Amino acid sequence: MDERLLLSLVRLAAAFALCAGTTSVAAAPAVPPPESVVANRRFVGEDGAVLYHVVCQGCHMPAGEGAEGAGRYPALANNPKLAAAPYPALTILNGRNAMPALGAFLSDAQVAAIVNYVRTNFGNHYGDAISAADVAKFR
């Protein structure tokens, strides 16, 4: 895992931001420009929604609907596997099969914010939020 992954994720996010201007991607917050989301090879900010749209939506799509084509990107929308917070947290930190590990680019607080965002959006209603301290235990 290296800087190229980080840069390609940011480029994907920027491409989605451009698409969002011309198509009807509902409810996707404006993705900030790349230089404002990455610093010293880390993502910045602790807003789960923004981080999702910068880091995850390139593969899992703007509404968490997932995609099938050249690869299989599972939907996070209405996904019962999100019932247990450690599952998405460990997936983000360590990767899972074709999904790259992202733990090196994200702080514990950022991982927690993303987990809490995906578990309470896209048709998921899991109210038991996790904290940065919880994520730290999984590293």
Nearest distance, CB of residue 71 and ligand HEC, angstroms: 6
103 makes contact with ligand HEC (CB under 6 A): no
**DSSP β-bridge partners for residue 39:** 42
In single-letter form, the type of residue at position 127 comes to: G
CB of 33 to ligand HEC, least distance (A): 19
Q: Can residue 59 be called a binding residue for ligand HEC (CB under 6 A)?
A: yes
Gap between the Cα atoms of 128 and 82, Å rounded? 11
Q: Helix axis angle, 108-118 relative to 86-94, nearest 10°? A: 130
Report the nearest approach of ligand HEC to the CB of residue 125 (Å): 16
Binding of ligand HEC at residue 13 (CB under 6 A)? no
How far is residue 79's CA from residue 121's CA, in Å, rounded to a whole number?
Answer: 11
Asked if 114 interacts with ligand HEC (CB under 6 A), we say yes
Residue 44 as a binder of ligand HEC (CB under 6 A): the answer is: no
Rule CB under 6 A: say whether 60 interacts with ligand HEC: yes
Min dist CB 22 to ligand HEC, Å, is 23
From 29, 45, 74, 86, residue interacting with ligand HEC (rule: CB under 6 A): 74
Binding residues for ligand HEC, per CB under 6 A?
9, 55-56, 58-60, 71, 73-74, 76, 79, 81, 88, 91-92, 96-100, 102, 114, 118
